[in-house]
């Protein structure tokens, strides 16, 4: 029987958890600002109407990302979650992802959010695992297409004069490691959801019955139960159900990566004295998208919360080929201000009120999967 301990889960996503990623982020921002003189670069920017439009479009990509997630939750919950509930869940889920390493699963946290917004634990488990599967499937399918169109070598060129061989490029190995993790997750979850959930449950329990791993055995049993329940909910869904869900997934992730495209355009048009801004070609725009995709795959093996600190350093070197000289560090900080910190602060603001409204003094009670669906 799967159980949730709300008190323990809520503590894991307490608003105070933003302190560590904030400290890391501020430290990195100070370092890169000092290193490249970003304050001088910032003074070279003028906010013309064109720049404002591109910044607005970057913000709209964030809204589109959230919209895609909301649509997906509505589809996966078969309309049982309201649009407002889906928005709350998405923002809280993004917050929990922002304060934990990218490779760390947030299953129990997401499951609690879904339960308190009106789903049973069984249905919530199905939504969480389907979401995980769809996200990993997006990366597993899209990366080979990107490689086919761009090429491995072009995808990892670090500068216009770089002659570094592919196998000497450290980011190539980061990407391979991250992709391997995503592929493994997609295969395991897909096998458990659609082919043989009982076999996967037995395998997981066996692994965590071995010496040294037994203290996590109960958690493994719970996860196995969730996979079995989720399989019952999802195995017979029509193709249209999965097409809508995967379409919303593609919309969300694609919009997420297009943020940088508009930020680069805003920077190019905002530099004072740049009388003839270089309008990026379609190929260059696609390359920016492709590198954003690969960067996120690399983040799967980053140990810091939300990849903070490490992702900025990789972005500076990996994306600099598309950014005007002297503005790389400034663009890096702006990128994180758009793509990371909003989720951190919005989640920290709405989480306390959500906890108060959802629990009303009962956060220490355990929730088991045989409870009735909350009103």
Q: How do residues 289-311 score in pLDDT, each as one tens digit?
A: 999 999 888 887 777 766 777 88
Q: 373 in a domain, yes or no?
A: no
Q: 313 in a domain, yes or no?
A: yes
Q: pLDDT band for position 370 (50/70/90)?
A: very low
Q: 374 in a domain, yes or no?
A: no
Q: Give residue 96's pLDDT.
A: 80
pLDDT cut 90: percent of the chain above it: 22
Q: 351 in a domain, yes or no?
A: yes
Q: 375 in a domain, yes or no?
A: no
55-80 tens-digit pLDDT: 999 999 999 999 999 999 999 999 99
CA–CA distances in Å: residue 88 to residues 82, 349, 372: 10, 12, 22
Q: pLDDT band for position 372 (50/70/90)?
A: very low
Backbone angles phi, psi at 5, to 5 degrees: -110, 95
186-221 tens-digit pLDDT: 998 888 888 888 887 787 777 778 776 677 677 777
Q: 372 in a domain, yes or no?
A: no
160-185 tens-digit pLDDT: 655 556 666 788 888 898 899 899 98
Query: Is residue 50's pLDDT more than 80?
Result: yes
Q: 301 in a domain, yes or no?
A: yes
Q: Per the structure, how many domains does the chain have?
A: 1
Mean pLDDT, rounded, of the chain: 79
Angle at the Cα of 255 (from 92 to 291), degrees rounded to 5?
110
With b meaning 16 or more CB within 10 Å and e meaning fewer, what string describes 126-154? bbbbbbbbbbbbbbbebbeebeeebeeee
Q: Which domain holds residue 214?
A: 3-366
């Amino acid at each position: 029987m799967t159980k949730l301990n709300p008190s323990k889960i809520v503590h894991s996503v307490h608003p105070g958890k933003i302190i560590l990623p904030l400290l890391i982020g501020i430290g990195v921002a100070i370092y890169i600002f000092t290193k490249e003189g970003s304050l001088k670069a910032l003074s070279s920017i003028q906010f013309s109407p064109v720049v404002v439009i591109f910044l607005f479009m970057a913000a709209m990509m964030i809204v589109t990302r959230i919209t895609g997630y909301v649509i997906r939750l509505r589809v996966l919950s078969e309309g049982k979650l309201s649009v407002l509930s889906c928005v709350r869940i998405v923002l809280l889920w993004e917050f929990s992802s922002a304060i934990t390493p990218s490779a760390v699963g947030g299953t129990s946290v997401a499951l609690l959010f879904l339960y308190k917004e009106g789903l049973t634990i069984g249905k919530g488990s199905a939504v969480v695992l389907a979401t995980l599967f769809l996200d990993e499937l997006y990366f597993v399918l899209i990366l080979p297409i990107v490689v086919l169109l761009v090429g491995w070598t072009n995808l990892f060129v670090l500068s216009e004069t770089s002659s570094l061989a592919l196998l000497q490029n450290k980011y190539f190995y980061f990407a391979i490691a991250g992709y391997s993790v995503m592929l493994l997750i997609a295969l395991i979850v897909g096998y458990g959801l659609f082919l043989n959930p009982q076999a996967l449950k037995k395998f997981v329990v066996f692994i965590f019955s071995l010496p040294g791993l037994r203290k996590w055995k109960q958690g493994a049993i719970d996860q196995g139960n969730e996979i079995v329940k989720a399989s019952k909910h999802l195995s017979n869904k029509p193709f249209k159900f999965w097409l809508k869900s995967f379409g919303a997934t593609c919309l969300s992730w694609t919009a997420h990566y297009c943020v940088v495209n508009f930020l680069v355009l805003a920077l190019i048009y905002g530099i004072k004295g740049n009388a003839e801004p270089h309008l990026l070609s379609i190929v260059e725009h696609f390359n920016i998208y492709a590198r954003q995709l690969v960067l996120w795959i690399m983040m799967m093996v980053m140990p810091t919360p939300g990849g903070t600190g490490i992702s900025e350093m990789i972005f500076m070197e990996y994306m600099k080929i598309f950014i005007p000289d002297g503005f790389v560090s400034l663009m890096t900080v702006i990128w994180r201000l758009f793509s990371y910190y909003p989720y951190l602060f919005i989640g920290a603001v709405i989480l306390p009120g959500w906890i108060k409204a959802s629990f009303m003094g009962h956060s220490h009670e355990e929730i088991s999967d045989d409870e009735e669906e909350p009103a």
